[in-house]
Amino acid sequence: MYTTIKTLQRNFVTDPERWLGQSIYFKSLFSGKWGDEQEDGSYFIETDAHIFEHILRYLRTGVLPVFYDRGKGHDFALYQALLEEAKYFVIERLEKWLRERKYLEVVEIRYLATETQDRGAYKKHTRSDNEGRTFMVEDHFVEITTSGNIETTMVPMVQQQNSFYCPNGKHGKSDEGYCRSCIEQARDDKIYVNGGWREEDQLKWCIVRKEVVFNHDLCVNAYLEDALP
């Protein structure tokens, strides 16, 4: 049987028979012991509607709440406000969840960092295809696979390296052993192309993936064994 619960900000229509056993407060309220029923059959509760909607959602579904935002993290002020209401309405499972801060175990953040190998000059831009994958372009493609719960950040890194260039100017960046004859020819012909060993910057990218994993089963099953007879 549907009942209207009134607060200062808004009214809630619900069927208490589906969740009455989870709260000693509401069990007494709807029993008629306190005589709080209004003439229209509704009940008035002096509580904040924004907090009470979370109380009622829990009573209806049995799913313990998690207030987490990817950018801001957990909403600890809301947890504390809800804890006080859970105490007031004598909802033991919800109170235990909030008091022991069990919700912190629901959200797991995993980081994975990988480093690309430089094989040429990078063209500093990226592109995306229709499947949500991002590519970094150089002389080849570096594929980054993403999904809705993964954030990918690309951080440029500059490292010093020694590179050998052909003294004869024929082979560009090369190997000293491979260009042995070029070294002799450049010396004999007095060729000056700034060959030999050079110290130069090497551009690499550190690809950092942040994955947020949400353990919904914990919200559903936590402390259920405590409620068993």
2-29 pLDDT tens trace: 899 999 899 999 998 888 788 889 988 8
pLDDT at 228: 46
pLDDT at 129: 43
**Residue 51: DSSP 8-state:** H
Give the tens place of pLDDT for each residue, 100-118.
999 999 999 888 888 776 5
CA distances for 50 relative to 8, 46, 153, angstroms: 11, 12, 36
**Residue showing tokens 């235990």:** 96
Q: All domains of the chain, ordered by start, with CATH?
A: 3-105 (3.30.710.10), 110-213 (no CATH)
pLDDT at 172: 80
Asked if 35 and 74 touch (Cβ cutoff 8 Å), the reply is no
pLDDT at 77: 97
Angle between helices 92-99 and 76-88 (to 10 degrees): 150
Q: Which residues of the chain have pLDDT under 70?
A: 117-148, 226-229
Rg (CA), the chain: 33
Q: Model pTM?
A: 0.66
CA 209 – CA 203 distance, rounded (Å): 20
pLDDT at 131: 43
CA 202 – CA 86 distance, rounded (Å): 58
